[in-house]
Each structure stands twice: as C-alpha cells, then as structure tokens.
Amino acid sequence: MDTKSKTKTSAALGFIFVTIFIDVMGLAIIIPVIPNLLKQLGNIDYSVASELNGWLTFTYASMQILFSSVMGNLSDRFGRRPILLISLLGFSIDYAFMAFAPTVFWLFIGRTIAGITGATMATATAYIADISTGDKRAANFGIVGAASGLGFIIGVSGGAFLGDINIKIPFMVAAAAALFNALYGYFVLPESLDKSHRRAFSWKRANPIGSFIQLGKYKALVGLAVAFTLVYIAQKAVEYQMPFYVYEKFQWSMRSVGYLGLFIGALLIAIQGWLIRYLIPKWGLKKNIIIGLISYGVGLTLIAFAGGGWQVYLFMVPYCFGGISGPALQGFITSKFGASEQGELQGGLSLLSSISLVVGPLFMGYSFKFFTHKDSSVYFPGAPYILGGLLMVISILLVLWSFKKDISLSHSPHQK
C-alpha cells in the first residue's frame, strides 16, 4: 500500500472512529439521565423507572431490527458513504427532538426515530471490513471498541455532568455532535466499496430472516452467533442498569455516575484500543474470545455482590478486560465472508445486537424491579449481574462447542 493510500485509509478509519463514537455517545449520554428523567416525567420511583426504561430500549431495538438489514443491504448497493451520512443526519434530528420531549410518550417517539436512523453500526463495520485485510481486520475492529469506550466516557460522564445542570442539555449536545460529524464526513470520507463489488438491492435479503440465513450459511457460526447475542444481553446489565443499581443501592448522585463513566471508558480505550492489538497476535482469536468471556463472567458476578461504591470501580476491571472477546469474535466471523457480503453480514450481526437490546434491558429491568420493589420479599439489586454472569457461562460453552466442531470454516470460498 503506497503512502497516499495509507493516508486515505487512516482518514477513513478516523471518520469511522468518530461515527461509532457519536453513535455510542448518543446512547450513553442518556444513561445517567434517564432514571431521573423518567422519575420526573412519570412521577415514579427507580424500581418502576427501570422497567419503563426496558420498554424504551425495546422500542429502539425493535426499530433497529427492522431497519439494520435494510441499511446494510443499501450500503452494499449504493456504497457505505451515503448511508453513513444520511444516518448521521437522522441522528441529529432525533436527539434535537428528544431534547424537548414534554412527556414519557414523546420519549418513545424519539426512541422510535433513533432506532430507524441508528443503524449506522452495520455500515460502519462493513466499511472497516472493506479496507482491512489479514490480521489487521480483527485489530481494526478494535477501533470499534476504542470508539465505543471513548463514546461511553463522553456520553455517560458528559450526560451526568450536563444533566446535573439541566436534564435536557445532554440531548442537545448529542444532536450537535451528530450534525458536525455528518458535515465532516461529507468533505473527508472516501467511498470504501468499489463499484465492481456492489450488488443489486434485494428486499428478500434486506430483512431479519435474510440476515439470519446469511449468518447460518456455515453451521459452525451458529453457536458463535448465539454466543454473540448472549454476550450482548449480559452487557446490558452494566450498560443500562448501572445507574439504577448505584442510585438505588449506594444513593449515588448523577455526578458520581459521571466519574464511574470516565473510569470505565478509560479502561475500554486502553484494553480495546491498545491492548487488544498486542493480545490478538500473541494469543490468537480463539484464546482472546475464551479468556475475554471468562473475564466478563467474573466481573459481572463480583459487581452483583459489591458492598460499597469503591468496589464497583474495582470489579469493573475484570469486566472491562472481557472486552477483548468482542473484536476477536467479530473479526473471526467477518473474515469468513467476501467483500460483497460484508454489508449484509454486518447487518446480521447488528441485528443480533439489536435483539439483545430487545431482550436485555427488559430482562434486566424486570429482574431489578422484582428484587427492589417495595413489595419484594428479597431485596437484591445485584440480580441483573448474576443473570449476566450465567449468560456468560452459557456463551463460553457455546463457543467451546463451536470450536470443537469438525466443520472447518476455512473451506469457505472467501477464506484467504
């Protein structure tokens, strides 16, 4: 690759980093705010607010399930660039809309719009696959983790600090950031998908069933795809329940959640943005997947029994180290498909992530409500984290089963 090509690739990766960062930040910025916003708009306690938050994310994820495959397939037809820019503009409109929601009902409307326009992850990861080869493919997927980590830092901490001033400000900031990124991308982002690799758009393939068929082309991938989904479901115990957990159990302020967000984000950036580039060549994809899942499970279980706020910080270390499994698992699956299928494949993986958003927050929200409600016979706010740990155990077993299968994915005609 010549110097000019390397420069273009670096610029493109930089834009994708910012795009994913905006995506995650837009979701994370409302995490510390939503418990108190729901309490304020609905006149309810944290227990009921947790359940209601599950339904909000259910609405968001349902729209992503319907539209992520469409967006992924559109990017296979028209290229990654226009789809990314259109989605970013949609994000900006959505967050501006949510900033002025007068009731809980309007929050549901906003989450509906966000789900439709928030299908950028499939196209962004397909873009990475387009411009990555060999061992760099999995390493470049670490960019997703690093961008997510930074987005989480700015989102959660910024949402907490700004929400402390005015609960509407975080949404306004997210809207402005998405608009800025769309304008930035318009001037600097090159197209990654060559016209020779594009294919005609097909409604038959641009639907959830078509995405599942794509993921099921190779039997050994089925177990990995299920494990991928379970991991994301378990992660929702941290991503969506943590503010409810610390507000309820330790009576933390919104600002305290902001400091925790800074800590978690810094860990994720260090692990997924730097450490994983060293661990993937050293351990290989399979070991990274297994070790990461074990670390996830240990971290979740410890968080469930945290006896003080400082222990939450301590137990986040093994949990965040588990983040090495995500890019390795995604890189492993992605390497088995050709360039013309990456948009569809990433749409399928995004679909699985959206399914986890449908199931995870509802599952975790109800478990939190069951063990914290005023009529509950057993008070245990850490219940969602125990459930998350159990899902990690199942994921480990599925991954080991998949690796032991006699079907070699190297038989794929696309494998290099």
Span 94-111, pLDDT tens digits:
788 778 878 888 888 878
Q: If you average pLDDT over every residue of the chain, what do you get?
A: 78
> Whole-model pTM?
0.74
To which CATH superfamily is domain 8-186+204-406 assigned?
A: MFS general substrate transporter like domains (1.20.1250.20)
Q: How far apart are CA 220 and CA 96, in angstroms?
A: 44
- Determine the average pLDDT of the residues in 203-225: 63
pLDDT tier, 390 (very low <50, low <70, confident <90, very high otherwise):
very high
The string of pLDDT tens digits covering residues 286-336 is 888 899 999 999 999 999 999 999 999 999 999 999 988 877 877 777 766
pLDDT(180) > 60: yes
Only one residue has tokens 């991954």, namely 399
pLDDT(201) > 70: no
- Determine the average pLDDT of the residues in 350-367: 80
pLDDT of residue 69: 66
pLDDT of residue 207: 60
pLDDT of residue 404: 78
User: Of 59-68, 158-167, 171-180, 198-207, which range is least confident?
Assistant: 198-207
Residue 413: CB atoms within 10 A of its CB come to 5
pLDDT of residue 24: 76
User: Of 6-20, 58-72, 78-92, which range is least confident?
Assistant: 6-20
Answer whether 397's CB lies under 8 Å from 315's CB: no
The string of pLDDT tens digits covering residues 129-146 is 776 665 566 666 666 667
Assign 349 to helix, strand or coil: helix
- Terminal Cα distance for the chain, rounded: 18
Q: Which residue has the higher pLDDT, 126 or 67?
A: 67
How large a percentage of the chain has pLDDT more than 90? 15
Every domain of the chain and the residues it spans: 8-186+204-406
The string of pLDDT tens digits covering residues 117-127 is 665 666 666 67
Helix, strand and coil percent figures for the chain, each rounded to 5: 80, 0, 20
pLDDT of residue 209: 61
pLDDT of residue 415: 42
The string of pLDDT tens digits covering residues 394-406 is 999 988 888 877 4
pLDDT(414) > 60: no
Only one residue has tokens 């061992």, namely 135
- Determine the average pLDDT of the residues in 372-384: 89
- Determine the average pLDDT of the residues in 337-362: 71
Q: How far apart are CA 268 and CA 274, in angstroms?
A: 9
